[in-house]
Structure 1
Amino acid sequence: MLKAEGVYKKYGELEVLKGIDLSIGSGEIVAIVGPSGAGKTTLLQILGTLDSSDSGKIYLDNMEVSSLSEKQIVKLRNEQLGFVFQFHNLMAELTAVENVCLPGWIGKRSEKEVKERAIELLTTLGLKDRGDHLPSELSGGEQQRVAVARALINSPKIIFADEPTGNLDTQNALDLHNLLLDIREKFNCAFVIVTHNKELAEMADRVITLKDGRVV
């Protein structure tokens, strides 16, 4: 479903990615691990269209993403990709429901339809009674579940997660591990997860290790 061929990336004189080839199958959970500075987050951002490579190609369902215009890439990202980050990136002034709705509203879907879907997702993720709360009124684990619901709102084919348990305590991290497995079963979406968490990596279908900008 997702494929990278010969991906290189430099920042100034620093060569971060040195010819990455990989593929992610439909519904697959893949963990990307490696030491700090190996290029994990850079690779995740390029795979997720948040950054572009200097050379190489990214394909989604056999469509070459780099051949699309910026407007087309933004549309593809909104409709087919989801994102979960370490620090949640929730809008402080919006309720949990409103935060989940944002990608749907940006995609100009029906406001009523999107809100109903957001409430449904929050209920599925165990936050039925927390939808009207602001992020500051939620625990770290609850905030991360809101972020997961937001990533799911447009029914993406693939979700990219950058250190999703990095800001959680042990119990909440374990809960999130189990949640990701449940989501894969319920929504049939793939996950690409950058993590230093050994337990999270071990629950993946496959582990890709990066070192010095290369797959090892």
Structure 2
Amino acid sequence: MSLLTASNLRRAYGPLPVLNEVSLSVAAGEVVSIVGASGAGKSTLLHILGTLDRPDSGTVTLAGQDVFTLNDTQLAKFRNEQIGFIFQFHNLLPEFTALENVSIPGFIANRNEREVRQRAEQLLAKLGLTSRQGHFPSQMSGGEQQRVAVARALINQPAVVFADEPSGNLDSRNAEELHQLFFDLRDEFGQTFIIVTHNEPLAALADRTITLRDGQVVL
């Protein structure tokens, strides 16, 4: 059964079509990679599937919700509760510690503060960062910052995690560790990942690869 289904997505920026009738589905617990040349529409597709942008036409259903029938306020709440994000450059807030950065989405969701901090501590421990939970981003390596970003993406137990070039800013060793981490988290938590990547080894590891070319899925 599909966790996420996209049907006939179209998106253009001015006269430039970026997505043209894109349809796909992802099952719960799948690790799916989205690949394609620069300009193929990968990040645009990720932003629409992740509800950060709306399509010109088409639908996205996630966890049983037709997401674009929601208004902006409802959609922001749904996104916070059901979707996690991992970006290439971490996007950690520099004035907050690792523990605080991980906890923020839980606080936004108005969850119990003690429970949020407890889960944040558990996630950081799982990712080998117990000794770093009081450190600020500037005091951590790139690999450590990216693992903090992974913990933040998982804090609300989302239905799906979207990762946009997650290892693009890491050296080869840290990239390999991050890639393995996705599969460990899938195996332990049943977590679903949709990953946009130029990294061929990561794409090859995925359960399934979706290739975009000129705004369309290549079959």
TM-score by length of 2: 0.97
**Secondary structure at 2:53's aligned position in 1?**
coil
Residue 215 of structure 1: aligned partner: 217
Work out the number of aligned pairs and report it: 216
Q: State the distance in 2 between where 1:214 and 1:50 align.
A: 20
Residue 118 of structure 2: aligned partner: 116
* Runs of 4+ with deviation above 6 angstroms: none
**Secondary structure at 1:168's aligned position in 2?**
coil
Residue 135 of structure 1: aligned partner: 137
Q: State the distance in 2 between where 1:127 and 1:63 align.
A: 35
Residue 108 of structure 2: aligned partner: 106
Task: Kindly indicate whether the alpha-carbon contact (under 8 Å) linking 2:63 and 2:159 is maintained by their aligned counterparts in 1.
Answer: no
Residue 59 of structure 2: aligned partner: 57
User: How far does residue 62 in structure 1 lie from its aligned partner after superposition?
Assistant: 3.2
Residue 42 of structure 1: aligned partner: 44
Residue 174 of structure 2: aligned partner: 172
| CA deviations over 1:157-204 (Å, ceiling 9, x no partner) | 100000000000000000001100001111111100000000100110
| CA deviations over 1:63-117 (Å, ceiling 9, x no partner) | 2111112121111101111000000000000000000001001111111111111
**Secondary structure at 2:169's aligned position in 1?**
coil
Q: State the distance in 2 between where 1:205 and 1:16 align.
A: 26
Task: Kindly indicate whether the alpha-carbon contact (under 8 Å) linking 2:29 and 2:190 is maintained by their aligned counterparts in 1.
Answer: yes
1:176 partner amino acid: L
Task: Kindly indicate whether the alpha-carbon contact (under 8 Å) linking 2:102 and 2:149 is maintained by their aligned counterparts in 1.
Answer: yes
Q: State the distance in 1 between where 2:29 and 2:77 align.
A: 21
Residue 154 of structure 2: aligned partner: 152
Q: State the distance in 2 between where 1:41 and 1:5 align.
A: 17
Q: State the distance in 2 between where 1:179 and 1:79 align.
A: 22
Q: State the distance in 2 between where 1:98 and 1:63 align.
A: 30
| CA deviations over 1:31-52 (Å, ceiling 9, x no partner) | 0000000000000000000000
User: How far does residue 61 in structure 1 lie from its aligned partner after superposition?
Assistant: 2.7
Residue 24 of structure 1: aligned partner: 26
User: How far does residue 138 in structure 1 lie from its aligned partner after superposition?
Assistant: 0.3
User: Counterparts in 2 of 1:59-74, with a 5 A limit?
Assistant: 59-74=61-76
Q: State the distance in 1 between where 2:208 and 2:150 align.
A: 21
Q: State the distance in 2 between where 1:16 and 1:71 align.
A: 26
**Secondary structure at 2:130's aligned position in 1?**
coil
TM-score by length of 1: 0.99
Q: State the distance in 1 between where 2:63 and 2:93 align.
A: 32
| CA deviations over 1:128-170 (Å, ceiling 9, x no partner) | 1100000000000000000000000000110000000000000
Residue 202 of structure 1: aligned partner: 204
1:72 partner amino acid: Q
2:93 partner amino acid: M
User: How far does residue 60 in structure 1 lie from its aligned partner after superposition?
Assistant: 1.1
Q: State the distance in 1 between where 2:188 and 2:75 align.
A: 27
